[in-house]
Amino acid sequence: MLVLGIESSCDETALALVADGRPVASVLASQADIHALFGGVVPELASREHYRYMGPLFDELMRRAGIAPHALDLICAARGPGLLGSLLVGVAFAKGLALGTGAPFLGIDHLHAHLLAAGLDGELPFPCLGLLVSGGHTHIYRMEAPWHFLTLGRTLDDAAGEAFDKAAKLAGLPYPGGALLDKLAQDGDPAAIALPRPYLDNASLDFSFSGLKTAAALWLEKDCPVTWPRPLPSPAAAPQELRNFCAAFNEAVVDTLCAKVARALRQNPDIRTLVVAGGVAANSLLRRRADKLMRERGGHCRVPPPGLCTDNAVMTAYAGWLLGKAGYRHDLDMETIPRGKRIPDDMRLRNAPQPFLPPGPTP
């Protein structure tokens, strides 16, 4: 089965082909330089750039793979959550291709695709625990199957990646600052600055990072003993106090994530595999701590390769391949779902007259 995946949920326009569970070819156009001028993603600009890039990228993907559109067996697109205007560009393009080629269509949950991408290096053993950490979302799932995710916890305000980027911006690091914050943290002392581990004094698996962000802002404004140019001209210009701040903030976020994961594992003692995915899964400290957490419990931690942690179309195509080979499809009237709204279980099995709802509890 040859599957086309389209990703346009935020500011990356990406298309990829997956055949029999293995990547064939992929193309991507990043908008980072454009949005860096504004210190964050501007939704209207993002959707216009997706519209500008989508057609040429599809042509380039077909050229690289040496195939014609009618060779596609399944066409998939991220349906949400994300920026509505951006998602609509990718979904509309996918539906048009499906209509023109006769290939079936499938809308993909962007968050689930991030986690399923860990299966590209070897089949995931279900059930497993999924920690999705990105710029817009922080979720814990019990993953029963590629088509059945049970939400155990989610962020109540800022996502982990958003907290990283906001703290980096406050510290004068260039956008997107989360990766640079992680890099500077490796030369800092996390014990030099006391920052809270938020929303742990409870039995919940939900997250809240707004208090940590406020504590970081107050330290930078009132307690930081030195100043430095903002924006920072280069990483080499970062003083030790900034490196210490990055290390302290990095450890506070990772401590919080791992504490909630450990709590979820205690509540789900049958699970031996943890999947960590999303843009923040590229964070070096989180990868080390998650691996250590699972090894201490006799389990395993699975993380996608760093290049597949951020938004990409390989994960969309691979998730589509997993669902498609099980017979799942969408009709062309499928709705696109923006951030903040729940994605419905409205897939149907091939040739089934009614939408198929997976067994068991739903989020």
What pLDDT, in 10s, does the model give residues 143-191?
999 999 999 999 999 899 999 999 999 999 987 788 899 999 999 999 9
What pLDDT, in 10s, does the model give residues 280-324?
999 999 999 999 999 999 999 999 988 898 899 999 999 999 999
What pLDDT, in 10s, does the model give residues 105-128?
999 999 999 999 999 988 999 999
Overall average pLDDT of the 92-104 stretch: 97
Report the b/e string of 192-212 with b at 16+ CB within 10 A: ebebebbbeeeeebbbbbbbb
What pLDDT, in 10s, does the model give residues 253-275?
999 999 999 999 999 999 999 99
The answer to whether 2-116+309-349 and 126-304 have equal CATH topology is: yes
Q: State the pLDDT at residue 356.
A: 43
Residues 6+ apart with CB under 8 A from 14: 6, 7, 8, 26, 27, 28, 29, 57, 311, 312, 313, 316
Nearest of 262, 159, 152 to residue 209 by alpha carbon: 159
| H helices, E strands: number in the chain | 10, 12
Structure token pair of residue 219: 């330290």
Structure token pair of residue 183: 């890099």
C-beta separation of 30 from 72 below 8 A: no
Fold held by 2-116+309-349 = Nucleotidyltransferase; domain 5 (3.30.420)
pTM of the model: 0.90
Domain coordinates in residue numbering, the chain = 2-116+309-349, 126-304
What pLDDT, in 10s, does the model give residues 26-76?
999 987 778 777 777 888 888 999 999 999 999 999 999 999 999 999 999
Query: CA 309, CA 134: separation in Å to the nearest integer?
Result: 9
As its CATH architecture, domain 126-304 has 2-Layer Sandwich (3.30)
Q: State the pLDDT at residue 42.
A: 87
Structure token pair of residue 210: 């707004």
Q: State the chain's mean pLDDT as an integer.
A: 92
